[in-house]
Amino acid sequence: MQIVLVDDSKSILVALDAAIRGLSGLRKIVGFIDPVEALEFCRDNAVDLLVVDYTMPKYNGIELVEALKAYKHFSHVPVIMITSETARPILIEAIEAGITEFINKPFDPIELKARVRNLLDLRRAQRDLAGQASRLVGEVQKATRQLAAREEEIIWRLARAIEFRDGHTGDHISRVAQISMLIAKDLGLDEDHCRMIYLAAPLHDVGKIGISDSVLLKPGRLTDDEITEMRKHVGIGVQILEKGTSELLRVAEAIAGGHHEKWDGTGYPHEIAGELIPLEARIVAIADVFEALCSERPYKKAWSVHEAYAHIDAQSGIHFDPDCVAAFQRQWPQIERLMAGHELLEIEVPSLEMPDEAQSTDDQITHITREFPNVG
């Protein structure tokens, strides 16, 4: 441990040093005649105890301690003041400045050594507690990261199960998630919010697990009754995700319940319009439609990315939030690269590759979202 001594008398500094040298656990004693030099040293170095005179030029002891206590790393360092002052106002001022102990001049070396030993023991215990607290904080942070990682893994595996059910390969939900995140970032949402959208976007169609195979896997266009049945997946998704205790599930519920609403109020299930639609749902709606248009299905050819881009642009202010469309357009170079098969985001995207047999089955059944019967 390190002690700093400050006194404008060189002989007193020598006497202070001699009184405390040899204490157990004491690494270094540094003495200063000039309080300004002491201030500069304490600013840049770890100090465990300060012993300071009261009457000094430039700074008195109280002024020096007040200046030092402004440094965060010095806020809990104990201080012994050596003084011949007995005036009560000065002593009160010293205590308020952060002085821990007082020793009268001329000092008793035995008393000084005992007080220094006691304060160093307290300082050592304080540092040990601070270290334990730091380790606990680190362990909590590690546990929190592990829980978040498990939550994210569950989300992606559930999304994979939905894609199996619907006949997708997993590429669809990965691209929807990445495009959604690009739009969210462009809109200036904070990092945590963007990541929530990225993780929740794959669950936008979670309600499809409640739709019958005859409708969900039908090759070709759906009848009006079948479209009505298909649209029930929104309500089912909300029921699956509602009343979640985490922010991630809250965002996922908002996306599942609102990604088929339209900016002009002609969407479903509630025909809400404009900013009444959750922002997260407005973002994912663009990513979902765009990716679906670019994907080949048994009853339609894949649109080119430029045709799909033109559709998104044409639907600005009608189907889609104009601000979200503008963000989509600003991110177009990134989105175009993504659609060409390039990985864009600095995020560890869980592998969603499916077995070869599942991929071959995908060629025989439909797995485009059925919410766009007028597409293609």
Q: Which token pair is 45?
A: 């170095």
C-alpha dihedral (207, 209, 210, 216), degrees to nearest 10: 100
**Predicted pLDDT at 371:** 41
CA distances from 238 to 158, 166, 197, 234, 271 (A): 15, 18, 16, 6, 16
**Predicted pLDDT at 230:** 92
Sheet holding 101-104, edge to edge: 28-32, 2-6, 49-53, 79-83, 101-104
For residues 369 and 292, the answer to whether their CB atoms sit within 8 Å is yes
322-330 vs 279-293: helix axis angle to the nearest 10?
60
- Catalytic status, residue 208: yes
Q: What are phi and psi of 50, to 5 degrees?
A: -115, 130
CA separation for the pair 17, 11 (Å, rounded): 10
**Predicted pLDDT at 332:** 96
For residues 97 and 77, the answer to whether their CB atoms sit within 8 Å is no
Kindly indicate the confidence band of residue 362, based on its pLDDT and cuts at 50, 70 and 90.
very low
Average pLDDT over the chain, rounded to whole? 84
Supply the DSSP symbol for 320.
B
Percent of the residues in the chain that have a pLDDT greater than 90, as a whole number: 43
Please check the confidence at residue 351 and state whether its pLDDT lies above 50.
no
Give the pLDDT confidence of 247-275 residue by residue, as tens digits: 888 999 999 999 999 999 999 999 999 99
**Predicted pLDDT at 365:** 25
Q: In this predicted structure, which of 3-12, 86-95, 97-106, 159-168 has the lowest mean pLDDT?
A: 159-168
CA separation for the pair 277, 274 (Å, rounded): 6
Give the pLDDT confidence of 181-202 residue by residue, as tens digits: 999 999 999 999 999 999 999 8
Give the residue from 169, 120, 139 showing the smallest Cα distance to 359. Answer: 169
**Predicted pLDDT at 176:** 92
CA separation for the pair 278, 261 (Å, rounded): 10
CA separation for the pair 195, 110 (Å, rounded): 62
Looking at per-residue confidence, does 354 or 120 come out higher?
A: 120
**Predicted pLDDT at 281:** 97
Buried b (16+ CB within 10 A) or exposed e, 63-85: ebbbbbeeeeebeebbbbbbbeb
**Predicted pLDDT at 169:** 53
CA separation for the pair 52, 342 (Å, rounded): 65
SS3 31: strand
Q: What is the mean pLDDT of residues 277-286?
A: 97
CA separation for the pair 157, 356 (Å, rounded): 18
Please check the confidence at residue 359 and state whether its pLDDT lies above 50.
no
Please check the confidence at residue 44 and state whether its pLDDT lies above 60.
yes
For residues 100 and 120, the answer to whether their CB atoms sit within 8 Å is no
**Predicted pLDDT at 222:** 86
At CA 354, angle to CA 351 and CA 357, rounded to 5? 165
Q: What is the mean pLDDT of residues 152-175?
A: 74
**Predicted pLDDT at 218:** 82
Looking at per-residue confidence, does 94 or 322 come out higher?
A: 322
CA distances from 280 to 177, 241, 374 (A): 11, 15, 25
**Predicted pLDDT at 375:** 38
Indicate which residue of 208, 218, 243, 300 is catalytic.
Answer: 208
Kindly indicate the confidence band of residue 342, based on its pLDDT and cuts at 50, 70 and 90.
low
Q: In this predicted structure, which of 27-31, 237-241, 316-320 has the lowest mean pLDDT?
A: 27-31
With the C-alpha atoms ordered 166, 169, 175, 181, is the resulting torsion angle positive or negative? positive
CA separation for the pair 376, 359 (Å, rounded): 23
For residues 39 and 59, the answer to whether their CB atoms sit within 8 Å is yes
Kindly indicate the confidence band of residue 170, based on its pLDDT and cuts at 50, 70 and 90.
low
Q: Tokens 């559709």 label which residue?
A: 311
Give the residue from 23, 25, 29, 21 showing the smallest Cα distance to 47. Answer: 29
The neighbour count for residue 8, using CB atoms within 10 Å, is 15
Sequence-ordered list of residues with C-beta below 8 angstroms from that of 104, at least 6 positions apart, any chain: 82, 83, 84
